[in-house]
Amino acid sequence: MKRLAGLSALALIISNTSGCGWLWGEDGYFRDRGSDYLEARQTAPMQMPPSVEAKRIDPLLPVPMNVADSRAEGEFEVPRPLALQAKGEVSDYSLQKSGESRWVVAQRAPAEVWPVARQFFEDGGFGVVDERPQTGEFSTSWQRLDHLSAPLARRLGSRVSGVEPNSEMRARVRIEPGVQRGSSEIFVLTTTRPAGSSADTDWPSRSDSPSLEAALLDEMLASMARSAEQGGSVSLLAARDFDAPNRVTLSEDGNGNPMLSLGADFDRSWSSIGRALEAGDVRVDDINRSLGVYYINLAERAEKKDEKPGFFASLWGGEPSQEEVDARAERYQVRLTQVGDTVQVTVDKDINTVAPADVARRILTLIQENLG
C-alpha cells in the first residue's frame, strides 16, 4: 500500500506541474516569496526594563549590505548570507577515562598511530624492544627515570608519586582498532623495580604505579597532538596487515564441515573477521563477543553509516518493513572458537544446526578473500 501511495503521489505531481498556475503562478502555492520582505514595515525597537543590563549580540547570519531598501520596486533576488565560520579545532587525539582505566583515542588508523607512539618513547630516552607491528604492540627496555631525556624526566618527576627517581621502569604499548572505523585506541602498561635490580619481573595485569601511567599517557597525548599539526607518517609494515592473522587456512573439520583456521589470538581474529564481513558487504544484524558469534543476514547488504534512501525510494515506500526483511532473510551465525594457538571459524544455521556445506564454504571463502 505504501508503494502504491508513493506512485500515486508521483503521478499527481507530474500531472499537475504542466500548465497549472495554482501551483507555480504568482498566486500559486509554490510561488516565489523572495520579495515578500519588501512589504514588511519597520517597528519601534524593543524596550528593555531599566533594571536589565543589555548586552550587544552580534548576529550569526548578518544581512548583506547590498540588499534592496524600501524604495526598490519589482522583483529582487535576495543574496544568500555568508556561511558560518567554523571556530576551534578538534584534535585527532583525546584522553578517555573509565573508572581507574585511562587510554588515548586517535581518529586515525593504527598504522598511522604506530610510528607516532613509537617516536615518543624513543625521543623520551626509552629503548624500544620486542616490537610487533602486525599485532600493534611494542615494549621498552628497563630504564632509570632520571636517565630519560631531561624535559620528560623533569615533567614526570613533578607528577609521579611513590616512585624513587633512580628506580627503573619499562612500558608496554598496545594499539588496537577503535570502535569507529579508521580510529585507534592506545593503552600503556607500566611496571617499576628498584634501581640495580636484575629481576626481570612479569608484566602485571595493571600498572603498579597509576601516577606514572597517567603522566606517560598525558605526555604521549601532547606529543601526538604536536605531531598531527606537523603531519604524521604511516608505518607500511603495520598497515600491510595490522590485525590480519599470520596464516589463514580453509579446510574441513572431522565431520566434513568447512572451517577457517586463523593463526592469531581471539582479539585480533574477532576484529579481522568483523572487518572482513564489512568489506564483503555482508549485513551483521547482531554480535555477541562473549560467545564469539556474528549474526549475519545474507539477503541484505551491509549497513552503511549515514546512508539514507533517495527521493524516489522514499516515494516508493522507503526502506522495506521489518516483515519484508524477515520474509526474505537468510540468517546464519559466524562462530569463532579459540583452539590452542589458533581460532577456528565455522558457520551455523542456529545454535543447534550447522549451515549447509555449500553456504558455509561460500561465507568462509568470502571472509578469507577480505582478510588483511
191-245 pLDDT per residue, tens: 888 877 777 678 888 888 888 888 889 888 888 888 776 655 544 444 444 555 5
Answer whether 170's CB lies under 8 Å from 142's CB.
yes
- Distance between CA atoms of residues 353 and 357, nearest Å: 12
Check whether 246 has a pLDDT greater than 60: no
Residue pair 106/186 in contact (Cβ under 8 Å)? The answer is: yes
Is the model's pLDDT at 32 over the cut of 60? yes
Averaged pLDDT score across all residues of the chain? 76
Q: Give the pLDDT confidence of 116-160 residue by residue, as tens digits.
A: 888 888 888 888 888 887 678 899 998 888 888 888 888 887 777
Identify the burial level of 364 via C-beta atoms within 10 angstroms of its C-beta, where 0-12 means exposed, 13-18 middle and 19 or more buried: buried
Q: What percent of the chain has pLDDT over 70?
A: 71
pLDDT above 70 (res 311): no
Strand 137-140 vs strand 93-98: parallel, antiparallel, or unpaired?
unpaired
Domain boundaries, the chain: 93-237, 248-369
Between CA 242 and CA 235 the distance in angstroms is 10
- How far is 199 from 41, CA to CA, in rounded Å? 87
Establish whether domains 93-237 and 248-369 are of one fold. Answer: yes
Q: How many CB atoms lie within 10 A of CB 77?
A: 10
Q: Does domain 93-237 have CATH number 3.30.310.170?
A: yes
The per-residue b/e assignment along 103-120, b for 16 or more CB within 10 angstroms, e otherwise, is bbbbbbbbbbbbbbbbbb
Binned at pLDDT 50, 70 and 90, residue 115 comes out as: confident
Average pLDDT over residues 275-292: 87
Closest CA relative to residue 135, chosen from 249, 247, 267, 260: 267
The answer to which of 71-80, 169-178, 186-195 has the lowest mean pLDDT is 71-80
Question: CATH number of the domain at 248-369, please?
Answer: 3.30.310.170
> Does residue 13 or residue 36 have the better pLDDT?
36
What length does the chain have? 372
Q: Evaluate whether 344 touches 261 at the Cβ level (below 8 Å).
A: yes
